[in-house]
Amino acid sequence: MKPGAFTAFLSATRLLVGLTVLATAAPQALWTQEADVEVRLRSAELEHNSARSEWDSAMRAFRAAEARWQRALDDVNAAEARGDEDVYKQALARFHTQAIQLETQEARERETAGRMSDTRDDLMAVLAESRDELYQDALDADTQEESRELAALYQDRDNRYRELERQGAPPGRIQPVTLPEVTFDPRDGPDEIEGKIRLLQLRIRQIDVQITAIDERIGALEKRQRQERDLQSLITGVERFDDAFVPVTSPDPLTDMTDTESGGAALPSDSTVVSLDELSLQQQIEGLQLLREQMFARKQHLEGRTEGFRQRLLRMTTS
């Protein structure tokens, strides 16, 4: 065999082998790719459903915590109206617990909402990929029947994609429910809307009064806290260098063991050192500050809804 003929034979053989490999491997690659998309789609669906279920659960827990918060707040207001300081403190302590629980649930809702948003984005991305492939496959289909089948699949994926798009992302921050029954009704005329605006404004004024009362109480507690801290500062300053034990006595007993962190107000032994009640004062102040923040959030929410009604009223009167 001539050398040139041998080279031509080798080239032809390589070409045949290449064509054979291509002919067998290409459908396999396409099939694998399609299967991969289906697996990812199934996985993304499961992830999203799980995240949505978690968010639903967190949302229900938040609403339950909010209802408990509202009842605790009602108890605080009732105790304050009665003027019983001890009952008020107990109600405030319970409210503080509910307020912390409400915050915890709100954080949990935000966390699950974030996860749901992420899984939704992932699912939409896989759906879009699958939908686009089906579209292309339908165009490339060998038979009309196959094309129709692929078009049906394409339509279902597209519907699912649009459904997710319509659902949108979960709310970034839960709006507190205050006066939930005051909503816009398409049958509302200007008088009804004005009535609803007045109702919301009345509630806003009530919240303002409550916030003012909370501020006054915080101010009084802070004043008392400062008094107790000043006395504590004087006494610890004197005792630090043993100036209160003269000339030399046995070192004073252990520091007072009262643990006002738990809200107790026990007294130290024979000492005239002021009780460290300020820590429970601190807890009261923190509780009231949290209450103030939450009341303010509700006020802002009501103001937003009032503004919405005003806009509708304006549109009605100008049209």
Partner 1 sequence: MKTTSVAMLTIALVAVGVRPSGAQVTVRDLEVTAGAAVEGYRGNMSSVTLPVVDSTDRASAAVAEFGTRGRLLFLNTPVRGFRIDFDGGIRQFAASGFELSDYAPRELVGRLDGVYRQSIGSLGTLTAAFGYKGRSVVDRPPMPLFIQPGYGAASGALWLQFAEFRGIQLDSELMAEWADYGAHALFPQLDLLDNRSTRLEVGGTWGQEWQVRLYSAVRFTDFQRQGTNLPADPFRRDRMIEAGATWTLHVPVVVRLGVSGIFNRSNSARPEYDAIRFRGSLVVPLPYDLNGTLYTSLTGKNYKHDFEFIRLVPGEEADNGSVAYIGLHRALTPTLNGQVRFGWTRAETDVGGAFYERYGLSFFLSFRPALH
Please answer whether residues 188 and 151 qualify as being in contact, where contact means their C-beta atoms are separated by less than 8 angstroms.
no
- Residue 219 amino acid letter: G
Q: Which of 18, 190, 219, 264 binds partner 1 (CB under 8 A)?
A: 264
**Per-residue b or e along 189-218, where b marks 16 or more CB atoms closer than 10 Å to that residue's CB:** eeeebeebbebbeebbeebeebeeebeebb
Q: Which is nearer to partner 1, 108 or 299 (CB)?
A: 108
Region of 54-62, 174-182, 239-247, 304-312 interacting with partner 1 (CB under 8 A): 239-247
The verdict on 250 binding partner 1 (CB under 8 A) reads yes
Q: Which of 3, 248, 315, 318 binds partner 1 (CB under 8 A)?
A: 248
Please answer whether residues 150 and 134 qualify as being in contact, where contact means their C-beta atoms are separated by less than 8 angstroms.
yes
Q: CA 50 to CA 297: how far, in whole Å? A: 31
Taking the complex as a whole, how short is the minimal distance between the CB of residue 83 and partner 1, in angstroms?
A: 13
What is each CA distance from 286 to 10, 95, 279, 295, 297, in whole angstroms? 87, 11, 10, 14, 17
Taking the complex as a whole, how short is the minimal distance between the CB of residue 214 and partner 1, in angstroms?
A: 17
Provide the H-helix boundaries in 241-277: none
Q: Which of 3, 22, 83, 86 binds partner 1 (CB under 8 A)?
A: 86
Q: 235, exposed or middle or buried, with CB in 10 Å at 0-12, 13-18, 19+?
A: middle
Q: Which is nearer to partner 1, 24 or 262 (CB)?
A: 262
Taking the complex as a whole, how short is the minimal distance between the CB of residue 85 and partner 1, in angstroms?
A: 8
Q: Compose the 265-284 pattern: x for residues touching partner 1 by CB under 8 A, - for all others.
A: -xx-xxxxxxxxxxx--x--
Q: CA 259 to CA 275: how far, in whole Å? A: 10
Q: Which of 29, 144, 257, 317 binds partner 1 (CB under 8 A)?
A: 257
Query: Scanning the structure block, which residue is given the tokens 């109702």?
Result: 199
Q: Which is nearer to partner 1, 57 or 236 (CB)?
A: 236
Taking the complex as a whole, how short is the minimal distance between the CB of residue 254 and partner 1, in angstroms?
A: 5
Binding site for partner 1 (CB under 8 A): 86, 223-224, 226-231, 233-238, 240-251, 253-255, 257, 259, 261-264, 266-267, 269-279, 282, 286
